[in-house]
Structure 1
Amino acid sequence: MDELHTIADFVRWAASRFNEAHLYFGHGTDNAVDEAVALVLQTLHLGQELPPLLWQGRLTYREKTQLLNQLQLRLEKRIPVPYLTQQAWFAQLPFYVDQRVLIPRSPIAELIEARYAPWLEIEQVNRVLDLCCGSGCIGIATAIKSFPEAEVDLVDISPDALAVAQKNIDEYQLNDKVHIVQSDLFTELAGIHYDLIVTNPPYVDAQALEEMPEEYHHEPVLGLAAGEDGLSFAHQILAQAKRHLTPHGILVVEVGASAPALIAAYPDLPFLWLEFARGGEGVFLLTYDQLPD
């Protein structure tokens, strides 16, 4: 530690150690340098971007000790950075996260930033459902960036996840329009209709779950596992969604790598597979009329 003095020193050293340890990057970054930048800057409460002058800022003994502890946890226990810093960025917004919820990483963020255009008009949307909400990032970002006048329900079966979602609602002061509901999918939503249902449910199949890098095993299996073919939740959502949509509403679902299995299971459904400029795949859109009755 005596040889490391500046922010730049710690970022360089951390990136070298991450590469040396062959860490897996998939929770907000895709390389050792970006991972090191995220861990160092967030631990030091310096945000996402740093003025050039500060890279040579010398750290205090306490800051060095804190950083080394964080780096040790990342290297030895393979804990993802957002769990170490309890912060993840989604749709250009920061969210609190811990090991009660998955780390936000859905490409749906791009759709939110585009206000779900061209499939919805802002004046059409009065009520939104974020199903299997986890941290609440999709629903909260939708409330902030897409439809600021809409009511948003965040639904999850896990009370632990909903506690995290409520913390994020409180942080953004959205209690007047964003609400949590504990429910097994649509079970507690009888008679409620939405103009938009958006969901990133569990979709990892049994083999993929077993083969996931160690970093993913810090996440709650409840948010990942979806049976042998990864479709156990997608089947239920497709069977029930129409009765909770308005006639002009849309359903947006992420199924990730389980997309081929879903297409094979529903050869007659006209899935629209969305494309994303920043990468990501396996997200489909269906309108009310396209959904099975």
Structure 2
Amino acid sequence: MSDPATVPKELESIADFIRWAASRFAAAGVHFGHGTDNAIDEAAALVLHALHLPPDLHDAYFPCRLTADEKAAIAARVRRRVEERLPLAYITHEGWFLGLPFYVDERVLVPRSPVAELIETGFEPWLDPEAVERVADIGTGSGCIAIGCALAFPGAEVDALDLSEDALAVARINVDRHGVDDRVRPLRSDLLAGVSGDRRYDLIVANPPYVDAEAMADLPEEYRHEPRTGLAGGEDGLDFVHPLLRQAAERLTEHGILVCEVGHSWPAMEAAYPDLALTWLEFERGGEGVFLVEAAELQRRFAVHD
């Protein structure tokens, strides 16, 4: 492949550079999945960010010609994407979730959970958004789910929990950025073990490490830039889910729910808990392996009594 930073002199416009970058990505066989799923969308995101332009730029601007410095900036980013196989969000330090920008770097996973669709609907019909007072986001990473929940439930307190101090540092950046520091509390915790006293939640959202050992061994190079501790879930992907279920049973309010993402480990989840009433959620924009379970069901299964 030719040098991805060598820009043909014929390229002049925004559209030219989107097409050129997409061709470089396709030729190099880069892997997508950190916000886009194809070369053209990835190229558009890279070019527009490099030009400090909004991601929804009207196509009337696409014929606009670029300066030499702008061309060089795009070429440098294309080189990194191709040669280092960095996810684009680590190059731009920006990931998108719920239509909002979040600061990200290699201390956290790139935001991409289908749980965004549930946040948009306030987790109805399983919850009354007006009645939600406390939320826990387990494995908060960048804080995108915790912040999304704070915006969806303006009367709620949200605990953004993570075992990684590095991840919590990133979450704090985003909590401040989105102006929810009065209601979102980043807290170091191993699942729910670090929550003090008898604090209970109407909603627990969990995105624990759930990639099984076989899938970890086959990860595309882009995913290997993400923190391994945020991905690896043990032999069957459920190492963190087993203790979480017991902890959630003790921490949910009477009508609370646990929503947990286990991705491709969902068959292992069903096999491990055939007697647990799980609702597997469907998403209009794609995604799988997210289950919902009610407090009463968890408490029945794990014999929790007030």
Task: Compute the displacement of 1:91 (Å).
Answer: 1.4
CA–CA distance in structure 1, aligned partners of residues 166 and 289 of structure 2: 27
Q: Distance in 1 between matches of 2:46 and 2:203?
A: 35
The answer for the alignment partner of 2:295 in structure 1 is 288
Query: Helix, strand or coil for the counterpart of 1:3?
Result: coil
Pick one of 93, 109, 112 that aligns with 2:100: 93
Task: Identify the match of residue 82 of structure 1 among 89, 92, 95.
Answer: 89
What is the TM-score normalised by the length of structure 1?
0.98
Query: Matched residues in 1 for 2:37 and 2:216: separation?
Result: 20
Q: How does 1:160-175 map to 2 (within 5 A)?
A: 160-175=166-181
Structure 1 stretches of at least 4 aligned residues deviating more than 6 Å after TM superposition: none
Are positions 1:58 and 2:65 aligned together?
yes
Determine whether 1:107 maps to 2:114.
Answer: yes
- Which residues of 2 match residues 135-154 of structure 1 at below 5 A? 135-144=142-151, 146-154=152-160
Map of 2:185 onto structure 1: 179
Q: Distance in 2 between matches of 1:28 and 1:167?
A: 20
| Distance in 2 (alpha carbons) for counterparts of 1:268 and 1:281 | 21
Q: Distance in 2 between matches of 1:200 and 1:185?
A: 10
Match of 1:253 in 2: 260
**What is the TM-score of this pair, normalised by structure 2?**
0.94
Q: CA deviation at 1:3?
A: 2.4
1:232-286 C-alpha deviation (Å, 9 max, x unpaired): 0111111210111100110000000000001100110011000000010000000
Unpaired segments ≥5 residues, structure 2: 1-6
Contiguous gaps of at least 5 residues in structure 1:
none
CA distance in structure 1 between the aligned counterparts of 2:29 and 2:295, rounded to whole angstroms? 46
* 8 Å CA contact 2:114, 2:283 repeated in 1: yes
| Whole-Å separation in 2 of the counterparts to 1:288 and 1:149 | 21
**Post-superposition offset of 1:183:** 1.0
Deviation at 1:52, TM superposition (A): 2.2
Q: Tell me if structure 1 keeps the 8 A contact 2:193–2:247.
A: no
The answer for the alignment partner of 1:205 in structure 2 is 212
CA distance in 1, matches of 2:39, 2:223: 17
Q: CA deviation at 1:207?
A: 1.0
SS at match of 1:232: coil
State the number of aligned residues.
Answer: 292
Distance in 2 of aligned mates of 1:272 and 1:282: 10
Deviates more, 1:93-102 or 1:49-58: 49-58
Q: Cα RMSD over matched residues?
A: 0.9
Instruction: Report how far residue 53 of structure 1 moved.
Output: 2.4
